[in-house]
Structure 1
Amino acid sequence: MKNRLLQYFWVALGCLICGASINLFLVPHHLLSGGVSGLAIISYFLFGFPIGLQILIMNIPLIYAAYKFLGRDYTITTIFGTIMFSAAVDATQFLTKFNLLDEPILAALTGGLVSGLGSGIIFRVNGSGGGLDIIAAIVKKYYSLNFGAVGFSINFIIMLLSAALFGLKLAVLTLIAMFVGANITDKVVEGFNRRKTIHIVSYKTQEIVEAILKEVGRGVTILQGEGAYTRQRKQVIFVVVSLTQIAKIKLLVQEADPSAFMIVSDAAEVMGRGFTLPGSKDL
């Protein structure tokens, strides 16, 4: 129960941030957002209908689809997120009067950044604000389609409408806001503390392991491998480190075995002891 209440709190906060972003940065410059909210903003510009109310109405058939295809629990979370987002957009409509940024390009960049932050908070706690989120979940569960392509197609149509109604310049600025928002969302969901994974193949495994444990303080896992050509058994050192620890490990490996083979790659997210949980540093 406590976890569910905490989830609802973060979803509500994310929705409030997204709603404020729309009214502070996008609407004053006739910029759009993606998905259902983008269509609602177009209707607002043309007819003056409240954006939040339109978002709520447009989400009704999508919520029904969520209940039919994704189950009760997901639907309840989606209904909460949809209501909160719709309410947040209309409740923060007064912010359109402030027009904090005079330059449309700055408004697009800032709007994308702030809305991406809000969306990232929602997705990080496995929440949903409705709209394309529902379509994404259905596509992911039942079809082999790449939702990135589906979402791009929908937003591309919105961009065409924007270009036809408000001009190519505003459509391009909207695209910039979407791009920035999508990247910030990914950063928030994955976490800004990105790590690196390192694989080391060496005949001096013990020396390297001891150096890493002593000098860097990171846990190490030893994997068993075999050379494909020589069929000789080898040990592979696997370690996850922060960006600032890579140079130190490179130096330690070079000192212990100059002929060692080492691969450094990105880790989108690392969870467990030594990283997101207190306790041992063992990997």
Structure 2
Amino acid sequence: MNTRALLEPMGSWAWWRSWFLIFFGCSVMGAGFVLFINPYNFVPGGVYGMGIVLHNIFPSIQVGTFGYMFDIPLMLIAMLVFGGGFGTRTVLAALYTPGFMNILTRLVYPTPEAVESLDPSLMLGGRLDLSNDLLLTCIIGAVVVGVGQGIVVRQQATTGGTDIVGMLLQKFAGIKFSTGILLADGFVVLSGLVVIGFGLGTGEAAANGWMLTLYSLITIYVTSRVIAYLLDGASYDKLLFIISDHHAEIKRFIIEDMERGATYLKGKGMFTDRDREVIFLVISRKEVHLVQNRIREIDPQAFVVVTDAYETFGEGFKQFPDKNQIQAE
């Protein structure tokens, strides 16, 4: 059998799928900004958050256009630090997203004047005006933007901006990726408070400027949690420590019924001073109740500790990440 012939189509499919997900994620993120973030002057960090701030000073320039202005130098840094392949993905994603945002903005607003004002009552004829529920709006926007960013980052690319800053902080300072984004975005939020909240550069302070800053912080936090969810997943493995006098039966259950391995750890009882063997077992969350019920049948007097195993690498679990692979936590 020609193994190479079988692998090549699979590799080609993976390549196309990766690029599709990158552009799909960029589109989702761009839609989140245009529909739920930009019209309400939320400043959720990033180059587009800074674009919102600057759009208030220069309303004739669209938010996406400011994205191009900031992304170009950051993309060059990404290409130098993370390599040509990574840089190519970042360049195309970062070039596509602002353009998509500008086009979508012109589609959902009726006139050039409406594009400059970004008045939500004019967007889609007012059918998506959520001005009376800004908390719900910022949460929806944060989830949509976070999903889009998470999809892109899972393909080892970024949408530019503070994504690159977060990666640089992770690579050179050992700071978590999502935390790095949070720190970089904090500066942008403060800029939004000064320009939109205090009116510096616009001559007119927003009546609810302080509240907009709080909504922006909520947006950043929710977005970072959604990204972390998409990168690491929500369901952790479970780590069990089992102490029992019926090791043979438990061993048989683990190896034969569950088809898993486990490890014996040496221990000693503090009160009895007896040497004991502790079974060290990692299972999925779905298997916890099965193991608990079986151990109770085998030895009702067994002592079992169940705790979260945040990440598990090795056979049967996740592969070890590459050196430059992005991790949310």
Tell me by how many angstroms 1:193 deviates. 4.6
2:265–2:280 Cα contact (<8 Å) kept:
no
Match of 2:54 among 43, 53, 56: 43
Match of 1:56 among 68, 84, 97: 68
Alpha-carbon displacement from aligned partner over 1:143-172 (angstroms, at most 9, x marks no partner): 345555543332222222222323110010
Instruction: Give me the whole-angstrom Cα distance separating, in 1, the residues matched to 2:98 and 2:158.
Output: 12
Distance in 2 between residues matched to 1:249 and 1:213, nearest whole Å? 12
Q: Does 1:163 align with 2:175?
A: no
Equivalent pairs, count: 274
| Pair 123,40 (structure 1): closer, same or farther in 2 beyond 3 Å | same
8 Å Cα contact 2:86/2:156 also seen in 1: no
Q: What's 2:30 paired with?
A: 19
Which has more radius of gyration? 2
How far did residue 61 of structure 1 move?
1.1
For structure 1, list consecutive stretches of 5 or more residues without a partner in the other structure.
Answer: 277-283
Counterparts of 1:77 and 1:231 in 2: how far apart (Å)? 59
Q: 1:146 and 1:191 mapped to 2: Cα distance?
A: 16
In structure 2, how many angstroms separate the alpha carbons of the residues matched to 1:64 and 1:197? Answer: 43
Structure 2 runs not aligned, ≥5 long:
1-10, 109-119, 198-208, 319-329
- Corresponding position: 1:236 with 2:265: no
Query: What corresponds to 2:202 in structure 1?
Result: none
1:127 has 2:138 as partner: no
Q: 1:156/1:266 Cα in 2 relative to 1: closer, same or farther (>3 Å)?
A: same
> 2:258, 2:68 → 1: CA distance?
49
In 2, Cα distance between equivalents of 1:71 and 1:8: 17
Is the counterpart of residue 223 in structure 1 residue 263 in structure 2? yes
Q: Distance in 2 between matches of 1:222 and 1:36?
A: 48
1:279 aligns with none
- Measured in 2, the distance between the counterparts of 1:134 and 1:199 equals 40
Post-superposition shift, 1:100?
Answer: 4.4
> Structure 1 vs Structure 2: percent identity of aligned residues?
24
**CA distance in 2 between partners of 1:151 and 1:220 (Å):** 39
Q: Distance in 2 between matches of 1:268 and 1:92?
A: 40
Partner amino acid, structure 2, of 1:30: N
2:268 and 2:276 in contact (8 A); partners too = no
Q: Quickly say closer, same or farther: Cα 1:145–1:272, change in 2 above 3 A.
A: closer
Q: How much does 1:51 deviate?
A: 1.5
CA distance in 1, matches of 2:151, 2:307: 26
Query: Does structure 1 residue 248 correspond to structure 2 residue 287?
Result: no
- Match for residue 76 of structure 1 among 88, 99, 102: 88
Per-residue deviation, 1:123: 1.7
For 1:221, what is the secondary structure of its paired residue?
coil
TM-score scaled by length of structure 2: 0.73
Residue identity in the other structure for 2:15 = R
Deviations 1:12-68 (A, max 9, x none): 101100000001111221112222111011112221211122112211111121222
Describe the shift of the 1:270–1:66 C-alpha distance in structure 2 as closer, same or farther (beyond 3 A). same
CA contact (8 A) 1:198 1:263 kept: yes
- Does the aligned pair in 2 maintain the 1:194–1:268 contact within 8 Å? yes
Secondary structure of the residue aligned to 1:27 is helix
Q: 1:146 to 1:182 in 2, by over 3 A?
A: closer
Q: CA deviation at 1:85?
A: 1.6
Tell me the secondary structure at the aligned position of residue 220 of structure 1. coil
- 1:108 counterpart residue number: 138
Q: TM-score, normalised by structure 1?
A: 0.84
